[in-house]
Amino acid sequence: MWLADHLRSRCYLCQWYAIATDSSTNFPTNIATHPSATTQTLSHSSVSPISLSPSSSTQKSLLCAQCQQQVTWLPPLFTIDINPAFTLSVQSATYYDYPIRQAISAFKHHEDMTKLPVLVHALRQLPKPTGCHEQNSFIVPMPTTTARLQRRGFDPVTILTHYLSQHWQIPIWRGVARVDDTLSQQGLSRAERLANLEDAFTLISPPPKAHLLLFDDVATTGASLKSLANTLHTADQRLHLSAYALAHGNQVT
Ligand SMILES: [Zn+2]
């Protein structure tokens, strides 16, 4: 009982760190002396539930100050060459590193909803794109296939996009579909299927004349974002495209 109370008094990341069994992480080893382990954390002992208000100050209390500082937020933009005339810029909220990486994985692959607050907190580090608002912009979530949706039972990107839309106050546009391997891959070899499956998209409605803010949860190589951007750019070269992700790359290579 005391342990439960103690854990609840810690911020989300401190709490996970305390119960994590993976000792190979490079998270600060001095975390035992972290302020959150002392009575100083009593001020954030009651973690507020996720609020849908666009600029909720409750998010600040989700992580203690030290955890907030330990995570690298808003790493430098990376760019993806779509074609010789067009380069897509990608802004991620953080690196795909411990402990956000573990939170994403638990959420995506094990439907661990206890990790959602921290992921939403990470999303909220993404500043609203300059000049974009609900009248001139749409968020385009990375589509998934029906097969993948059925296999997984839920779509993590859809859930995260909902919160990003609330945060930015920018609506969502779902005019692109991901080519479904169960429908389009017949007659191909395994290698061909994999190559063909790699990020194939099709438009299901004309793209709006707007800023399209592509969003994916994790941009590893950027291949999916590249293909999605290419599909949209090919449809209308005047579209303003930029991309965002919860996490990408590694800080330490
Ligand atoms: Zn903490």
| Domain ranges, ordered by start, for the chain | 2-52, 71-248
Helix (H, G, I), strand (E, B), or coil: what is residue 81? strand
Ligand 1 centre to CA of 223 (Å) is 34
Helix (H, G, I), strand (E, B), or coil: what is residue 165? helix
Ligand 1 centre to CA of 27 (Å) is 11
**Torsion sign, CA atoms 12, 170, 247, 77:** negative
Q: Which residues contact 27 (CB under 8 A, 6 or more apart)?
A: 17, 70, 98, 99
Ligand 1 centre to CA of 158 (Å) is 28
* Surrounding residues of ion ligand 1, Cβ less than 5 A: 11, 13-14, 36, 64, 67
Ligand 1 centre to CA of 91 (Å) is 25
Ligand 1 centre to CA of 215 (Å) is 27
Ligand 1 centre to CA of 140 (Å) is 32
Residue 153: predicted pLDDT: 85
- Structure confidence at residue 147 as a pLDDT band (50, 70, 90): confident
pLDDT in tens, 156-184: 999 999 999 999 999 999 999 998 765 55
β partners of residue 78: 90
CA distances from 165 to 31, 139, 168, 169, 173 (A): 34, 7, 5, 5, 10
Ligand 1 centre to CA of 233 (Å) is 42
Ligand 1 centre to CA of 26 (Å) is 15
CATH topology of domain 71-248: Rossmann fold (3.40.50)
Ligand 1 centre to CA of 217 (Å) is 23
Ligand 1 centre to CA of 72 (Å) is 14
- Structure confidence at residue 151 as a pLDDT band (50, 70, 90): confident
Does residue 95 carry a pLDDT above 80? yes
Residue 250: predicted pLDDT: 73
Residue 47: predicted pLDDT: 37
Ligand 1 centre to CA of 66 (Å) is 6
pTM of the predicted structure, to 2 decimals: 0.77
Does residue 85 carry a pLDDT above 50? yes
Q: Which carries the bigger pLDDT value, residue 191 or residue 123?
A: 123
Ligand 1 centre to CA of 155 (Å) is 28
Ligand 1 centre to CA of 117 (Å) is 14
Query: DSSP strand E in 50-112: where?
Result: 78-83, 86-95
**Closest Cα to residue 208, out of 158, 157, 142, 136?**
136
Residue 14: predicted pLDDT: 81
Ligand 1 centre to CA of 181 (Å) is 42
Residue 41: predicted pLDDT: 32
